[in-house]
A and B are shown apart, each in its own frame.
Chain A
Amino acid sequence: MEEKKDKTGLLREVLDGAAGLAGSYAATLTHLFRRPVTEQYPEYKRPMPARTRGRIILTRSPDGKERCVACYLCSGACPVNCISMQSEEGPDGRRRAAWFRINFARCIYCGLCEEACPTLALQLTPEFAFCKDAIEDFVYEKEDLLVDHGGKDPDYDFYAHAGVAAGRPKGEHIGEDEPVDVKSILP
């Protein structure tokens, strides 16, 4: 009884093994006749999702002005200290960066700066491949970072909301009342 059982068990194992081998050979064979999935980079550059974290840009608000107000939040959030800047007051009263520098040789593309940016100025783009011969060339200045579009959020304008008189007078921002007349006693 036990011997018979052993014989049938052995036979089944051999058959199963053969079926497994045949199945995998079949799978390999079918792939021989399929189109390859490998993309030949860099001949073919795959379109990346918009939120891929690659090279950083400084975007502009819908009116074409610089969005960056040099608030130092990105440089404060940066875990590798690759962002440095100096803020100043521009001729139109807007706070802006006198200079703004990102050292991409040091950047780890973590995106914390983008999360910290309160004006949606600093954005990471899908561009991830920008090799240089010299490491100093990875230091990008403000002129290199500024683009002439709004990036992922083309409609947002920080100065339309913030109640400071920079370009737009007090009381004319979104959701604001007329300025209080301090010399009137009318209710």
Chain B
Amino acid sequence: MPDLIIDGRPVRVPKGTPVIAAAESLGIVIPRFCWHPALGAAGACRMCAVMFLDGPVKGLEMSCMVPAADGMVVETFHPEAVTFRRRVVELLMANHPHDCPVCDEGGHCLLQDETISGGHALRRFPGRKRTYLDQDLGPFIQHEMNRCIHCYRCARFYQEYCGYLDFGPMQNANRVYFGRFASGPLESPFSGNLADICPTGTLTDKPGRYKSRRWDCQRAPSVCPHCSLGCATVALSRYREVVRVEARENPAVNGHFICDRGRYSFGYAASAERPRQARADGVPTSMSTALALAGTRLGGVVEAFGPEAVAVVGSARSSLETQTALTALARAGGWRGPAFFADRTEQQAVAAALAALAGGRARSLAEIGQADAVLCLGVSPLHDAPMLALSLRQAARAGAVVAVADPRPATLPLPFTHLPLAPDKLPGAAALLTGAEAADAAAIQRALPLSPELWPALERLAPAFAAAGNPVLVFAPALAAQAPADARFGLFPVLCGPNAAGAALVADADAPACDDLARAIEAGEVKGLVLAEADAAALSPRLAAALPGLETLVVLDHLPTPSFAAAKVFLPTQTLFESGGTLCNNEARLQYAAPVAPPGEPVSRDGRGGHPPRDYARKLPGTDPLPAAALCAVLALEMGLDMPALSFAAFTGVGPEDVAPEGTRATRLPAAPTAPAPPSAPPGQGLVVVRDDALFATDAYGRYAPLARAQAPAASVVRLHPDDAAGLGLADGEALTVTVGDRRIEATLAVSAAVARGAAVVPRLPGWAGLPAAIGPETLRRRQP
């Protein structure tokens, strides 16, 4: 722990800390372009020069390159250092295109800040400016190479930190160029971070191009709702529209970065299809009329059939506030529910996954980056939780062994072993790798007799996992029973929605699931249903099929789901950006997303792209939606119910006032319920259906975000192992017709040895939700031309 003095103030920092970081811990921000806390030092920009007056290093040195040492006396405002930095800025500006007015970085540009604070105002260099041609880097990043100052941040992030190689530095000397060999979309699913880390306007955000200046935006800390990890984000909104989402630093969760799914799927909130007006029997009406009608209809059902005839369904994408309000509403009325999960097994699985985290075994994303062995069991990191892949990459860079046991093909930007195993084989594989003793060859062959191609890999992995001091098991909730008793293993469940953990905490252990409610509707026991921010079609196909049997269906939502179309009474709700809310992530960490966008139709649509209307006295269009929790309270009032004052503290042990900025772990976890039975082999000959997420547009919100939808593959793909494809007489690339219930879906077949034998990998889209657990040749058919 070196002690040093910076600008006359003593500071003690951990060994190895560069002086620039030591100064930052005192609140002294030394100017920098190339140094970044997550990327380390490159010494490329020469901007962080400070004067070392005493100690092991003396003279003018780069503070990012010198590790703090005992006895150092550093002066950041030494006249020599200030002059040096001023000249560095002038040199960096010698080739600058002077286009700040048309540059999107203007207003939050590090180069602009340093140039102005250094006092450089007039170009003294008489020579000509170096120029570069730009490339088209795809839909997310705008390239403007003339603005580059060659700090190498982009290349270090893209290649070293993320592990993708299609973008990087080229040429030499004064001609260094950052780009791709040829124009084309960036391959990395983390490419959006380039716009955040670039200290100039070289790489800027393309979807937000020419939309706004930073100073005009309302900004608030938010939480990403596009997978269960709950990465910290900053949402920027202007003219009643979220224009950009950026990464926010949360050292315990996502570090400094977020994935492209989280960054570019915000469009659902301002989408033209978003329902913003209440409806009664499909006819637009006022909020008060719809609320009164919902009260009357539900009251009628209660009067005729009793309170048990009304049920409430919530979902894993609502905030804890909404889930709590639904519970309070259901309790006040004596109604059934709320149901948050498709079936009882899923609910028990998520509860079991959370219960396993008790006793300090939960690991955060940051801690996965420090693990020395990670087994992903039934989890495809890049698709189920993209930022997990980045943490695995950091672990692998530090020498960790990474294995992914999952039936779906896995691509990761790191050296890892993929064990493509059907779901019923996963518990066996987990037992081989999570035991205290390394499994020997005989045990491996006994456990997986039909997968000889995996034996060598398992024989290599088993001793590495047995010897690991800090291994982590990343698992899908269905495999919660495989969480090893060995306390060495940290646990990291990956769940099925941004607030799935919250739903599992809020739901009663004996609460009905959607399938139970569907059964009750079919039996005529339930006549009225309240669907709050839940899509029956995506949640439970059986429930969706049972909806016509209801007397009344009240839907509260902000997404244009099929359930919205089926609603008898529709009440629009606000999004997370408008109402704010608390989400509980996969490691039971509660995080608060602050409201950022004012409600209402975006100005861009209100003015049809041109001048906004000049009628200042009118009511703003699209301001009807209310927070779902508030709607629950009003609905209770309409029906004369006495809604109990309930806080989510009752379910999580952490109240709204206790949620820290970096998140607070729930203190009340489910008492270890009966762990779900491990997945078993399907009866008969069929292929087990395994659902796969894509990076974009398969999560509940991304499906309704225009930009994310534009990135989704045009055709649905079914993936099979070569043996299974041969068994069905199908070849790679063939056009298929998949029969789901009474509908037919067109898809193409992709055959790959990276798919587990006996598994059929299909996209996780609502249209595919009706597939049975196992399918055969009668479902997968060659498309007749």
Contacts and interface: CB of A to CB of B under 8 A. Distances in A.
A157 interface: no
Interface stretch (A4-12, A44-52, A53-61, A86-94): A86-94
Nearest to A158: B101
A175 B106 CA distance: 23
A69 B101 contact: yes
B618 interface: no
Contacts of A158: 101
B131 A171 contact: yes
A87 B614 contact: no
B612 A162 contact: no
Interface string A141-180: 1100000000000000010011111100011010111111
Interface stretch (A17-25, A71-79, A123-131): A71-79
A63 interface: no
Interface stretch (B183-191, B602-610, B619-627, B642-650): B602-610
A187 B171 CA distance: 11
B77 interface: no
Contacts of A72: 107, 212-213, 215-216
Interface stretch (B92-100, B464-472, B587-595): B92-100
A176 B131 contact: yes
B239 A86 contact: yes
Contacts of A177: 128-131
Nearest to B102: A95
A46 B131 CA distance: 50
B213 A76 contact: yes
A179 B102 contact: no
B242 to A, nearest CB: 15
Nearest to B615: A136
A133 B280 CA distance: 45
Given A164-B97, A180-B171, A89 B212 contact: no
B102 A180 contact: no
Interface in B549-568: none
Contact of A175 (B128, B144, B215): B128
Given A164-B144, A166-B102, A99 B131 contact: no
A62 interface: no
A171 B97 CA distance: 10
A76 B603 CA distance: 19
A80 interface: no
B210 A89 contact: yes
A110 interface: no
Interface in B7-43: none
A141 B611 CA distance: 8
How large, as a class, is the contact surface on chain B?
35 or more
Interface in B68-109: 97-102, 106-107
B129 A164 contact: no
Contact of B102 (A162, A170, A185): A162
Nearest to A143: B611
Contact of B610 (A99, A171, A185): A99
A5 B186 CA distance: 105
Given A76-B213, A95-B210, A162 B98 contact: yes
B520 to A, nearest CB: 52
Contacts of B603: 86
How large, as a class, is the contact surface on chain A?
35 or more
B614 to A, nearest CB: 6
A39 to B, nearest CB: 37
Nearest to B126: A175
A170 B172 CA distance: 20
A71 B101 contact: yes
A180 B174 CA distance: 9
Interface in B175-226: 175, 177, 179, 209-213, 215-216
Contact of A180 (B100, B132, B216): B132
A136 B614 contact: yes
A108 interface: no
A95 B103 CA distance: 9
B701 to A, nearest CB: 26
B134 interface: yes
B170 interface: yes
B99 A164 contact: yes
A182 B175 contact: yes
Contacts of A118: 100-101
Contacts of A179: 131-133
Contacts of B237: none
B102 to A, nearest CB: 4
B190 to A, nearest CB: 24
Interface in A86-114: 86-89, 94-95, 98-99, 101
12 contacts: A72-B107, A89-B209, A94-B102, A95-B101, A118-B101, A142-B611, A163-B131, A164-B97, A164-B102, A180-B171, A182-B177, A185-B172
Interface of A: 69-73, 75-76, 86-89, 94-95, 98-99, 101, 118-119, 136, 139, 141-142, 158, 161-166, 170-171, 173, 175-180, 182, 185
Closest 9 CB pairs of A and B: A163-B97, A162-B99, A71-B101, A99-B611, A72-B213, A182-B177, A118-B101, A95-B102, A163-B146
Given A139-B614, A163-B129, 14 more contacts: A86-B603, A87-B210, A87-B211, A89-B209, A95-B101, A98-B610, A163-B97, A163-B98, A164-B99, A165-B134, A176-B129, A180-B130, A180-B131, A182-B171
